[in-house]
Amino acid sequence: MNKHWALTTFYNAENKLFEWYFDISRENFIDENGAPCIDDLFLDLVVFPDGQTVTLDADELQEALDKGEISQDDFTHAYKVHDQIICSKWVDAGFLTGFCDRVLREFDPVAPFTRT
């Protein structure tokens, strides 16, 4: 997948999921040491289990544009990716829950994981 975002899923101490966090990026890549990296574009999107979404750091994105740290194309790209996420299955809590459960099982299929 060549997506321009990175997803982080947050669980509390009781393994209860409390949010999904999308970092919007210019590019995602693997560095020379094999570590996944993102070229972050400041704008973020949070999805909560009840389906609510919150956009974060729009002010940081605007400031980066104003200071010349990013181009107008980067600015436009960040909002385009944001809007694509908003209009996709990636903001559906049921889809995200199933996806993250599958990923957890893939990385540690014998570890017990219970959602409370």
Chain segment 70-104, per-residue pLDDT in tens: 999 999 999 999 999 999 999 999 999 999 888 88
What are the strands of the beta sheet with 17-30, ordered from one edge? 5-11, 17-30, 36-47, 53-56
Q: What residues does each domain of the chain span?
A: 5-107
Coil, strand or helix at 17: strand
40-78 pLDDT, tens digit each: 999 999 999 999 999 999 999 999 999 999 999 999 999
Task: Read off the amino acid at residue 105.
Answer: R
- Tell me what pLDDT residue 73 has: 98
Which residue did the predictor score with more confidence, 115 or 98? 98
Tell me the two tokens of residue 60: 């940081």
- pLDDT-derived band at 114 (thresholds 50, 70, 90) equals low
- Residue 85: phi and psi, rounded to 5, are -65, -50
Looking at 3.40.50.11810, 2.60.40.420, 2.40.380.10, 2.60.40.2480, the CATH number of the domain 5-107 comes to: 2.40.380.10
Q: What is the pTM of this model?
A: 0.86
**What's the CA gap between 103 and 109, in Å, rounded?**
9
Of 11-20, 30-39, 105-114, the least confident: 105-114
**What's the CA gap between 17 and 9, in Å, rounded?**
7
